[in-house]
Amino acid sequence: MNAWLLAAAFLAAGGLGPCLLVGLRGAPHARLAGLNLAAAAASAVLLLLAQGFSRTSYTDLALDLAVLAPAGTLVFTRFLAGDER
Amino acid sequence: MRSAIELLLWWGLLLLLNTVFISSVTPLEVAVGGGVALLGALGAGAVRRASGAAPGGPARLAHALWAFPWTLLADTGRLALLVLSPARRREAGFRTVRLRPGTGAAWAAALLSSTPGAYVVATEDGVLTVHATSSRVSLLEGALTGGAR
Amino acid sequence: MTGRHAVAVALLCAGTATLLLAALALAVLPGPYLRLHALSAAGTLGAPLVALALAVDTGPGRAAVKLLVIGLLLAAGGTVTTMAVGRTTVRGERRSTAGADR
């Protein structure tokens, strides 16, 4: 157990937990905020796990998430705005 | 000519990114990266032209970049205060920010939104509609508006 | 503990604290607009600080640059999506209040 794994544990519970709470209740646009924050927190958790377990391949997961999660959020915003167009 | 320079810049950027991300830099890898980066550069240039996006003018860029880190830290502190004391939450709300002429709306909105103190929801004619956590003008906002409200 | 590791741990604590603060703010702050400010805090300060801490700990080299680029991508993506989610929230709230009036 090193500092990175400890931080990853804290972030996974305290960072992703509230995001889950927000993402499971409320209007669609409110849930999107939880999704967005969860992406940032999850990327950080993946980076920390990569360092904690000394497996550099996990860093690629964080890279993929950093690139794809904003794209996913933008798809959702486009979808939610769709009725007006 | 300009499109050739743009293609070269995109190619260079993508090749650089590729070289950073791969695990071992061998001539074969760099060659493959160069080829794929060329395809990507063609696509990136086409997308940029199709989107019609432009960053805008560079006025106040230096001032804004200087003010950015301090505003980032101050706004995060303010966010913590907002979480702790409900009384300060009343100050938050929508207001407008009038940019100095020549300041690009795109990069100014991005810079302003990246601080926790405000995010931009609409922009029209150099006037940004932001939702801010306080009615006080932050350092970055002062840099972008040139002091005037 | 070497100096570099100490700096890395300090940056890690700062980044983790910011991310936890952002998550708390998202859950606690009232109203649809106020809590969106947490998204910028997490994306621009929290996650890049964690990436910076890891880069400092890894030491100079391509791996550190890779981590810094990931941090930059997180900052850029977070900013763009914060603006997008803000606009979507404005639209969604406008639509729901218009529906309530009917």
Q: How many residues does chain B have?
A: 149
Residue B25: closest C-alpha in chain C: C62
Q: What is the mean pLDDT of the segment spanning B8-32?
A: 91
* Interchain CB distance below 8 Å, C85 and A7: no
Question: What is the 8-class DSSP label of residue B86?
Answer: G
Number of domains in chain A: 1
Give the pairing of strands B118-124 and B127-132. Answer: antiparallel
Largest CA distance in chain A: 52
Q: Give residue C102's pLDDT band: very low, low, confident or very high (50, 70, 90).
A: very low
As a whole number, the mean pLDDT across chain B is: 89
pLDDT tens, position by position, C42-81: 999 999 999 999 999 998 988 999 999 999 999 999 999 9
* Interchain CB distance below 8 Å, A44 and C46: yes
Nearest by CB to residue A67, choosing from C13, C63, C73, is C73
Q: Give residue C1's pLDDT band: very low, low, confident or very high (50, 70, 90).
A: low
Range of the domain at A25: 3-84
Nearest-Cα distance to chain A for C96, in Å, is 9
What ipTM, to 2 d.p.? Answer: 0.91
- CA angle, C88 as apex, C34 and A73 as ends, to 5°? 100
Nearest by CB to residue B119, choosing from C37, C45, C65, is C37
Q: Give the phi and the psi of residue C10 in degrees, each rounded to 5.
A: -60, -45
* Interchain CB distance below 8 Å, C21 and B92: no
Query: Which of chain B's residues have a Cβ under 8 Å away from the Cβ of A56?
Result: 23
pLDDT tens, position by position, B16-27: 999 988 878 899
Q: How many CB atoms lie within 10 A of CB B69?
A: 13
What's the confidence (pLDDT) of residue C100?
61
In angstroms, the CA B109 to CA B68 distance is: 12
